[in-house]
Amino acid sequence: MSARVHAASALLLGLALLAPAAHAQPRVGDLTRHAGEVPRRLVGYGLVTGLGGSGDQSFGGYSRNQTVTVRSVVNLLRRFHVEVPPEQLRLRDVAAVLVAAEVSPFLRAGGRFEVQVSALGDARSLRGGVLWITPLVTDPDQAPVATAQGPLLLAGDEASRALFDPRANSGRIPEGGVLEVDPPTAALQPRLLVREPDLGTATRIAEAVNTAFGKDAARVEDPGALSLVPPGGRDLGAFLAAVDTLRVVAHAPARVVIDSRAGTVVAGGDVRVGTVTVSHHGITLQVGGSAAERGAKTEGLVRVEPQASVQDVAAGLHAAGARPEEIAAIFEALRAAGAVVAEVVVR
């Protein structure tokens, strides 16, 4: 009996410890951003080297010694006082790339950030390549404000080494960018902007702030913005930091996100699927239906109970061998038919 009591006590203790995590409330800082925090977007043109034959082969139909990549390498070597005739270059180890990044407006000179790199020409793969130092600008007509360089990290580097992997023409360099020039001063403002505008979310945030700092500390302007008043002349920065730590109850949005490559389906909120029948490329999805219909067996038919969850439908489609693009098309059809009352996002 004693052992059972101890086991029951341990179970109740475990449930008590798990309860806060199950009902975790997001911080205000997770749901909003401060007014004036407009990210700076940077872009540049560069070269990736060391590709082992998988670089640019041709470009736009020009002859080999007239490609953009060849001309770029010639200009690069010329800056180091090295003259090489274009017709002598065979650059299968080099690829012309576009470099892009998004940085905080408060990042100062010397700060590092991640950059995204994607092929501009017909390089077969950027795997194993290194980005040559590349100036980054906010506008093509402006002076560079940052630089980027370093070895590329591609999706599937650990899982796949296929030369023709369709994901191999783009990659990223963690902390590969360095800001060289301080940005214009961005002053803090006593306003919060809701990341996903919603009147209910904005109202709950205002209630949490007013409960913590007084009834006039926050006011809802519209579903996407709240104005703040620091109490008693409190420092604005300290006040905003304190507001960011407040917890609020936020309802999960009714949204279904589908990865059209991997077939992964993620549902936010309690999304249910109404009674419907959808046929697509030899696969028929039937939600609900009569008892006779549910008893019949047909090849390629996926049946689930009425008001089934998105997870149940996705599991049935996966079990039937539906491809990722077919799963995405079926969920889009469910939304169009009104059987899924939620936003369907296909990526």
**Is 63's pLDDT higher than 60?**
no
**Is 161's pLDDT higher than 60?**
no
Distance CA 147, CA 155 (A): 23
Higher pLDDT, 66 or 56: 56
- Res 69: pLDDT: 78
Read off the pLDDT of each residue in 11-22 and give the average, rounded to a whole number.
38
Higher pLDDT, 331 or 163: 331
Give pTM, 2 decimals: 0.65
Phi then psi for residue 4, to 5 deg, are -65, -40
Read off the pLDDT of each residue in 295-301 and give the average, rounded to a whole number.
67
Annotate 156-207 with DSSP letters as a single string.
Answer: TTTT---TT-TTTTEEEEEEEEEE-SPPPP----SEEEESS--HHHHHHHHH
73: confidence class by pLDDT, cuts 50, 70, 90:
confident
158: confidence class by pLDDT, cuts 50, 70, 90:
very low
Read off the pLDDT of each residue in 135-144 and give the average, rounded to a whole number.
91
Query: Residues 6 or more apart from 148 whose CB is under 8 A from it?
Result: 44, 46, 99, 101, 115, 131, 133, 134, 136, 173, 176, 177, 178
189 to 118, 198, 261, 326: CA distances (angstroms): 36, 21, 41, 47
- Res 13: pLDDT: 39
Q: Residue for token digits 């070895």?
A: 151
Higher pLDDT, 295 or 230: 230
Q: Dig out the tokens for 33 from the structure.
A: 């951003």
> 3-class SS at 334?
helix
Distance CA 305, CA 230 (A): 53
CA angle 341, 346, 347 (to 5 degrees): 150
Distance CA 98, CA 19 (A): 47
Query: Residues 6 or more apart from 34 whose CB is under 8 A from it?
Result: 188, 189, 191, 192, 193, 240
Higher pLDDT, 62 or 176: 176
**Is 128's pLDDT higher than 80?**
yes
Read off the pLDDT of each residue in 27-32 and give the average, rounded to a whole number.
92
Higher pLDDT, 209 or 266: 209
- Percentage of the residues of the chain whose pLDDT score is greater than 90: 35
**Is 271's pLDDT higher than 90?**
no
Q: Dig out the tokens for 285 from the structure.
A: 């999805």
Annotate 111-133 with DSSP letters as a single string.
Answer: -EEEEEEEESS--S--TT-EEEE
- Res 217: pLDDT: 93
Q: Dig out the tokens for 335 from the structure.
A: 């939304």
pLDDT, tens digit, 9 for 90 and up, residues 237-253: 999 999 999 999 877 77
**Is 159's pLDDT higher than 80?**
no
